[in-house]
Structure 1
Amino acid sequence: MTLEEQKAIQQLKQGLMQSQHQVVISGCNDILRRARDHVDLSQNALKEVLYLKAVAYRLMGNVNSAIDTLNELIVYFPNYARAFQELGYCYLASDQKKAAHSFYQATRFNPALLTAWLQLEKVYKADGQSQALALCQQQIAFLTSLPKPLLGATDLMHEGQLHKAEQVCRQFLASHEHHPEAMMLLAEIGIQLKVYSDAEFLLESCVTLYPENDRAAAAYQNLLSKLGKFPDAAAVAKKRLEYAPDNFTVKVGLAHALVGVGELDEAINVYKSLLSENEDRPAVWVALGHALKARGDIDEAIQAYETAIVYANDFGDAYWSLANTKTYRFSDELLTKMVSLVDAEATKLDDEIHICFALGKGFEDSANATRSFAYYERGNRLKKRTLQFDIAKTEKALQAQQQAFTKESFDKTKGCQAPDPIFIVGLPRAGSTLLEQILASHSQVDGTMELHDILGIASSLSHQSTPYPLNVSALQEDTLTKLGEQYLRQTRAYRQGAPFFIDKMPNNFIHIGLIKKILPNAKIIDARRNPMDCCFSGFKQLFGEGQEFSYSLDDIGRYYNAYEKLMAHWHNVLPDDILTVQHEEVLDDLEGQVKRILAFCGLAYEEACLAFHQTKRIIKTPSSEQVRQPIYKTGMGQWKPFESNLEELKNALCEKKR
C-alpha cells in the first residue's frame, strides 16, 4: 500500500470513529471511482476501502447496501475473514442462520477473531449443538488465555499483515524469552514468509524446552513434512506417540510421515486401524487413498476416495483426488451433483476450489471444452485470490540467479565430489515423472521423490548480510563441501542402496548454480514440453502446495519465459553439464532418447528402461498412473480444444519474442 493510500484510509477510519458515515461512504466511492478510471489502487487498499464502506453503511442503518458491498468485497477477496464477520453482524437482526454461517466462515479464515467465536457460542447454545459448542468454547478459552500482544499478533498474521505480526511477536519475546506460544507463533509467521530455516530452529527449540507440549511437537512435525524431511517428521511423530499413545491426530501424523519416507504398508495399516475404530473420517479415507495410489493400488485408492464422499458429501479434496488419478471418469449424475455443490452457499471456499478443478477435468473428459474451461478458470481465479503471489518478484528472483553465477563462478575441484545425484528439473507437468520412471528402472539408479533438500539449503543461505544467491560465490571451499555432504546425508533415507539416485524436484532448475557449486559431479536433466501443453496442463492442476504461478494464464506464461531464459543462462555458464530432454521426442523415439539419457548419466543401456511401466515403485506425483502405462501420445495438443480461451497465455508466451 502506498503512502498516499495509507493517508486516505487513515482519514476514512477517523471519519468512521467520528460517526461521519456518509462522508466515509462518499470518500470510499471517490477512491473506487478513480480506480475504475485507471488510477492504480493496490489490492490491500481496495480491501480496506470496500470494508470501511460496508461498515459505514451498516452503522448508518443501511444494511442492504452493506451486504451488497461485502459481497463485492468477498468476490475480490474470498478468504477475507473480517468481511464475513461484518456480514454476520449485518444478518444478526434478520437471518440468524445466515449470521451464524457468516461468523463460522470468519473463524475459518481467521481463528483469532474472538468476537466471531463469541457470537457463534450464542448460536450453538441456542440450537443445542453440544459438540460444536464444546469446540467453540475450547477456542474461546485458548484465545482469552493468550497475552493481548500475542492475540493481536495472531490476528495480524491471519489478516496477512505478516511483518507487523512478526514485529509485535519479537517485541513480546524480548521481554518474555522462550514463551512457548510466542515461539510457535513466530515460527508460523516465518513459515508464511517462507523463512523456513528460522521457523525450524524456533520449533525445534520449543520442542526441546517443552517436550510435553504436543501443539509445539505437532507444528514441528508439520513443518518437517512440509520441508520434505520425512524421516525427521516420523521420528517426532513416534516421540509424540510415547506421550499420547491413543491420540487420533498423533496417529494420523505418524501415518503421513510414514508415507513420506515410503513406508506405505505401515502407513496404510495405521489408516485402516483408525477407520476400523470409526469409519466416519473422510479426511482419513482420502489420506488412505493417497497412500494406496502411491503404492500403485489405484482401484483401492478410488474406492477410498469414493467412500470419503459418502461420509462428507461436499468434501472437495475427495472429488479432486478422483480427478487427479487422471484415469477416473465422473458419471453425468456425479457431475450434476458437483455443479450443485460449487454453487451452494454452504460449500466452503477450499471445497469449492477443489470441486471446480474436478469439474474442469470431468467436463474435459466428456469433450465439453466450454464448461470445462469455465470451471478451470473459476477454480484458478478463486485459488489465486487466496495467495499473495507476485510474478514480477519471481521474475526478479530468477534474474538474480543469472547475475550471481558466471562461468568463472564454477570450479569443479571444489565442493562434494560424489557423483550420486541425478537432478530432473523443469516446470511441473513437463514430463519429469516419465523421465524419472525410465531412469528408476535402471539397476544402478534409485527413484526417490520430489526432494525438498536443495530448496532447504537455499533457504538456509537466504538470511545473511548478503542474500542468496549473491552470497554463494563467497562461500569457502569447506562450506561448499559440507553443504554437498549435508544434502547426501539428508537424502540417504530415501535411497535403496543403488550407486545413483534421482531428485525430481522441478523447482530445482532455479538452483542449478548452487547444485553445481556444492555437487559439481551431479547430473542435471531438464525436462521440456511444448509451452502451450506444459502451461495449460499446469493451469489445470491444483497443486498440493507451491507452484503459485500456475493459477493465472498470464503468470504461468511469464514464468515459462523466465524459466527458459534462466535455463539458457545455465547452458551458457555450464556447457555440456545439462541435458535437455524434449517430452515430444521421448514419445516419438523412446529407445533413442533412453540411450541418450543413459549415456549422459554414464550408465550402461538396460532394456528395463524401455519397459519402465512395469517397474513397481512408489510414485506420489499426479502422473503416477500415466507412467504405469506404456508410452502414449494423447497428452499432446490437449490445449487445442480450449484455444479460444487461451489468448492471454499465448500473448504472455509471445512476450519473449518481442
Structure 2
Amino acid sequence: MTQTSSIERQIQQRLQQADVNGAIALADQHLAGATDAEKPPLLYLKAVAQRIAGALTDAHATLDDLLTRLPEHARGHQEKGYLFKAQGQCKAAAWHFYRACQSNPALLSSWRELKTLYQAQDNDTALMMATEQVNYLGQLPPPLLGALDLMFEGQLSQADQVCRRYLQQHKHDPQGLIILAQIAVRRKALLEAEFILDSCVALDPENQQARSDLAGVLAKLGRFAEALEHIEQLLVAQPDNPHYLTARATAWVGVGRIEDAILAYQQLIAAAPERAGLKVLLGHAYKALGRTADAIKAYQQAIACEPTFGDAYWSLANMKTYRFDDQQLAQMAHTASGELSLEDSIPLQFAMGKGWEDKREYDRAFSCYAKGNRLKRQNSGFAIQAIEQQVERTIAACDKQLFERHKGAGTDAPDPIFVVGLPRAGSTLLEQILSSHSQVDGTMELHHVLAQASRLGQKAPGYPENLREIQTDLFARFGQQYLEQTRAYRQQAPLFVDKMPNNFLHVGLIHLMLPNATIIDARRDPMACCFSGFKQLFGEGQEFTYDLDDIARYYKAYQRLMQHWDEVLPGKVLRVQHEEVIDDLEGQVRRLLAHCKLPFESGCLTFYETQRAIKTPSAEQVRQPIYRSGMQQWRNFASHLEPLLVHFNGAGADA
C-alpha cells in the first residue's frame, strides 16, 4: 500500500462517515505537496466531496483541473455528468457520461444514467446501446465486473488476479474466460488470449462472443485465414450481423481478397451511411490497391460524416502524397482545440504535424508530432530496457556453438525472403522491388515468426535461452508449420517476401527453422530512420517510436544485434543501405537479386509499375520512381532532435 493510496483510503473513510468538509481539507492538505502523478486521484475524491457538500462550482473547477491533466479520466467525466445533471443541464450530463463510458465501458452507473437520459431524449438508437450495456454489465458477477473495471482503468495485473480468483471457484465459466482473454489482449499476451478463447470455444462451441473475440485475436496476430474460418461460422448463425460482416471484409483484405472486401464495405456503408469507420476501412482497401483518388474520397467522406474522427484525418495524411490546404488545416486546428477523446486527439495531432511539415512550418509541425507522441506513449507501458535486455540475452544464447550443434536442422525449403530492420527504413521499397520479379510473391508483414518466438517464450527456461535445449528435429517442424501457415498469403511464385521488421530479433530462430531462407537487412541513416519513425503513427505495436530517446536506443540495440548475426552467421544476412539504393538503383537491385539467387529482371527497376496490394504506410511512395526528397528531411527539425543527435551526432548511417 503506497502512501498515496493510504491517503485516498482516509479520504474515502471520511466520505463514508459523511465528513465531507474533513475529506476536502485532507485532500487539499496532501495536494499541496503531491507530485503530478499523485494529484489525479486526490482531485477526483476532492470533487466528489465538493459535489456532496453542494459546492458544485468548486467541484467543476476541481474536475477541470483533473481533466486537463488526464482528459480520459473516466470517473472524472462521470462526476462531471453528475454535476451537470444536478444543475439540470441534461445534454452536457449525457456528453460526460458518454465520455466516461468511452474511457471505461465497465462504469455501470454511467450507463444507467445514459439510459435514463436517452429515454427522456427519445434517442432510440443510443437508448438501445445503453440498455444492452446495462443488461450485460448488470448480469455480471461482481468480481468479473470489478475485473473489467480494473482492466479499463489500466490496472491489468490486478484485473488478471481478480479474474483468475473467480475462475478458481467457477472453472470453465465462459464469461470469466472471455474477460481473462480480454485482459491478456490488453497485456499484449495475444497467444495466451488465443489459448484461453480456443479453450472457451471448445467447451462452448455456440458461444458467439468467445468465437468473435477469438477471430479478433487471430486477426491481430495476422492470421487472417484462420480468423476467416471462425467469422464464417459466426455468419452461419447471424448472416446479417454488421459486426461479423465488417470483420469478414477486414479479414479478406488481410488474405488479399481486396476486391471482395471493397464490395462488402460498400454494401455495409449503403446500409449504415452514418458509420464513418466503415468509410475509413473502405479507404484503406482502396489504398492497398493503389486506387488513390478513391481512397482520398472515402477518407474525406468519413470526415464529412464525423468531423472529429481523428483516424480519418490521419488516414489522409498517411497517404504521404496527400496535401492539406489552408482551410483543412484551420478546420483541424479548430477540431483539436475542442473536447476530443484520446482516440481522436492522437491521430489528429499526427495529421496536423504532416500538414504543417508540408507547409514548411517546421516548428508548428514538430509541436504537433511531439504532442501526438506524448499522448500515445503515456499509456503504452513501453520500457526500452526490456528490448535492450532481450538483445543481450539473444546475443548470449545464440552463439556459434548453438548453430554448430543444430547444423542441418530445419526444413530445406528456400521459399521465404525475410526483410528485417526498423520500420520506415525502406523495407517496403525492397519488397516492391523483389515482388516485381516473376519468381517472387509479395505478402505483408507476417506475424508467424513472432508467434513462434512467443510460444517458445512460454516454456521454461524461456526464449531465446531454450533454443539450446530444443531437439534438433523440432526445428524442421517449426519451419514446416511456418510454410503451411503462410501459404494463404502467397500466389503461385516459388518465393515470397515476409517483411515483418521486428524479425531482426529472431534471425537465429529463422535460420534454425529455415536454413535456406534468405534474409535482407533494410538499413537507413539513423537520424532519417528514427525521425521518420517518430512522426509515424503506427496501427499496432512499434511503441518504441513514440519517444526520441527510446527510438535512438532501439536503433542502437538493433545495430548491435545485427552485428552479432554477422559474426555468428557470416554471409547469412545481406545489408541493403537505403541511401545506396537511391544513389545506385540498378547496382543495388542486381546485388539484391544475386543474394536471393534470382536472375536479373528489368521489371525490378520499374517496380513502381507493379500492380499488387500494399498495406504499409509507404504504399503510395513505392508506386512512384525513386526520389531523394526524404533523405534529409530530419535536418528541417534538427533544433528539436537533441535526443537523437546525442546518440548519433547527426551523422549518417553507421552500417
Q: Could you state the TM-score of these two structures normalised by the residue count of structure 1?
A: 0.93
> Which deviates further from its counterpart, 313-322 or 259-268?
313-322
Is the 1:452–1:505 Cα contact (8 Å) retained in structure 2? yes
Report what 2:435 is aligned to: 440
2:480 is the counterpart of 1:485 = yes
Report what 1:423 is aligned to: 418
Report what 1:24 is aligned to: 26
Q: Structure 2: how far apart are the matches of 1:483 and 1:413?
A: 14
SS, match of residue 525 in structure 1 = strand
Gaps of 5+ in 2: none
Report what 2:222 is aligned to: 228
Q: Structure 1: how far apart are the matches of 2:66 and 2:564?
A: 43
> Which deviates further from its counterpart, 232-241 or 59-68?
59-68
Q: Structure 2: how far apart are the matches of 1:560 and 1:108?
A: 36
Query: Could you tell me which amino acid in structure 2 is paired with residue 408 of structure 1?
Result: Q
Report what 1:136 is aligned to: 130
Query: Which of 572, 575, 590 lines up with 1:577 in the alignment?
Result: 572
Q: Structure 2: how far apart are the matches of 1:338 and 1:449?
A: 32
Change in 2 beyond 3 A, CA 1:80/1:389: farther
Q: Structure 2: how far apart are the matches of 1:27 and 1:481?
A: 65
Q: CA deviation at 1:237?
A: 1.5
2:159 is the counterpart of 1:165 = yes
Query: Which of 67, 77, 80 lines up with 1:87 in the alignment?
Result: 80
Equivalent runs, 1:235-274 vs 2, <5 Å:
235-274=229-268
Equivalent runs, 1:550-629 vs 2, <5 Å:
550-629=545-624
Change in 2 beyond 3 A, CA 1:278/1:107: closer
Change in 2 beyond 3 A, CA 1:96/1:272: closer
Q: CA deviation at 1:214?
A: 2.2
Query: Could you tell me which amino acid in structure 1 is paired with residue 76 of structure 2?
Result: A
Report what 1:407 is aligned to: 400
Change in 2 beyond 3 A, CA 1:412/1:54: farther
SS, match of residue 622 in structure 1 = coil
Report what 1:40 is aligned to: none
Equivalent runs, 1:86-165 vs 2, <5 Å:
86-94=79-87, 95-165=89-159
Q: Structure 1: how far apart are the matches of 2:649 and 2:59?
A: 43
Q: Structure 2: how far apart are the matches of 1:485 and 1:239?
A: 27
SS, match of residue 576 in structure 1 = coil
Is the 2:27–2:43 Cα contact (8 Å) retained in structure 1? no
Query: Could you tell me which amino acid in structure 1 is paired with residue 362 of structure 2?
Result: A
Is the 2:419–2:519 Cα contact (8 Å) retained in structure 1? yes
Change in 2 beyond 3 A, CA 1:22/1:301: closer
Is the 1:15–1:23 Cα contact (8 Å) retained in structure 2? no
Q: Structure 1: how far apart are the matches of 2:511 and 2:11?
A: 54
Query: Which of 465, 470, 473 lines up with 1:470 in the alignment?
Result: 465
SS, match of residue 86 in structure 2 = coil
Q: CA deviation at 1:15?
A: 5.2
Change in 2 beyond 3 A, CA 1:655/1:302: closer
SS, match of residue 206 in structure 1 = helix
Query: Could you tell me which amino acid in structure 1 is paired with residue 448 of structure 2?
Result: D
Matched residues, percent identical? 50
Is the 1:293–1:301 Cα contact (8 Å) retained in structure 2? yes
Q: Deviations over 1:272-312 (max 9, x none)?
A: 22233343332111111111111111111111111222222
Q: Structure 1: how far apart are the matches of 2:473 and 2:268?
A: 48
Q: CA deviation at 1:652?
A: 4.7
2:345 is the counterpart of 1:343 = no
2:377 is the counterpart of 1:390 = no
Change in 2 beyond 3 A, CA 1:153/1:419: same
Change in 2 beyond 3 A, CA 1:413/1:152: same
Aligned length: 646
Is the 1:587–1:632 Cα contact (8 Å) retained in structure 2? yes
Q: Structure 2: how far apart are the matches of 1:422 and 1:577?
A: 12
Q: CA RMSD of the aligned region, Å? A: 2.3
Q: Deviations over 1:184-225 (max 9, x none)?
A: 111111111222222112212222333333222221111111
Q: Structure 1: how far apart are the matches of 2:67 and 2:373?
A: 16
Change in 2 beyond 3 A, CA 1:594/1:188: same
Equivalent runs, 1:37-52 vs 2, <5 Å:
43=37, 45=38, 47-52=40-45
2:205 is the counterpart of 1:211 = yes
| Runs of 4+ off more than 6 Å | none
Query: Which of 533, 538, 543 lines up with 1:548 in the alignment?
Result: 543
Q: CA deviation at 1:391?
A: 2.1
Is the 2:235–2:244 Cα contact (8 Å) retained in structure 1? yes
Equivalent runs, 1:266-285 vs 2, <5 Å:
266-285=260-279
Change in 2 beyond 3 A, CA 1:88/1:474: same
Gaps of 5+ in 1: 37-42
Query: Could you tell me which amino acid in structure 2 is paired with residue 245 of structure 1?
Result: P
Query: Could you tell me which amino acid in structure 1 is paired with residue 322 of structure 2?
Result: Y
> Which deviates further from its counterpart, 202-211 or 543-552?
202-211
Is the 1:255–1:267 Cα contact (8 Å) retained in structure 2? yes
Is the 2:24–2:46 Cα contact (8 Å) retained in structure 1? no
SS, match of residue 465 in structure 2 = coil
SS, match of residue 197 in structure 1 = helix
Q: CA deviation at 1:137?
A: 1.3
Q: CA deviation at 1:82?
A: 2.2
Q: Deviations over 1:302-340 (max 9, x none)?
A: 111112222222222111111111111112111111111
Q: Deviations over 1:146-198 (max 9, x none)?
A: 11111111111111111221122122222222222111111111111222222
> Which deviates further from its counterpart, 144-153 or 375-384?
375-384
Is the 1:196–1:459 Cα contact (8 Å) retained in structure 2? no
Q: Could you state the TM-score of these two structures normalised by the residue count of structure 2?
A: 0.94
> Which deviates further from its counterpart, 351-360 or 83-92?
83-92
2:292 is the counterpart of 1:290 = no
Change in 2 beyond 3 A, CA 1:542/1:548: same
Report what 1:39 is aligned to: none
Report what 1:529 is aligned to: 524
Q: Deviations over 1:116-165 (max 9, x none)?
A: 11222232233332221221111001100111111111111111111221
Query: Could you tell me which amino acid in structure 2 is paired with residue 364 of structure 1?
Result: E
Report what 1:372 is aligned to: 365
Query: Could you tell me which amino acid in structure 2 is paired with residue 80 of structure 1?
Result: H
Is the 2:444–2:497 Cα contact (8 Å) retained in structure 1? yes
Q: Structure 1: how far apart are the matches of 2:501 and 2:639?
A: 29
Report what 1:184 is aligned to: 178
Q: Structure 2: how far apart are the matches of 1:616 and 1:655?
A: 37
Query: Which of 292, 317, 322 lines up with 2:316 in the alignment?
Result: 322
Q: CA deviation at 1:73?
A: 3.6
Is the 2:448–2:482 Cα contact (8 Å) retained in structure 1? yes
Change in 2 beyond 3 A, CA 1:106/1:278: closer
> Which deviates further from its counterpart, 314-323 or 168-177?
168-177
Q: Deviations over 1:329-356 (max 9, x none)?
A: 11211111111111112x3321122221
Is the 1:614–1:628 Cα contact (8 Å) retained in structure 2? yes
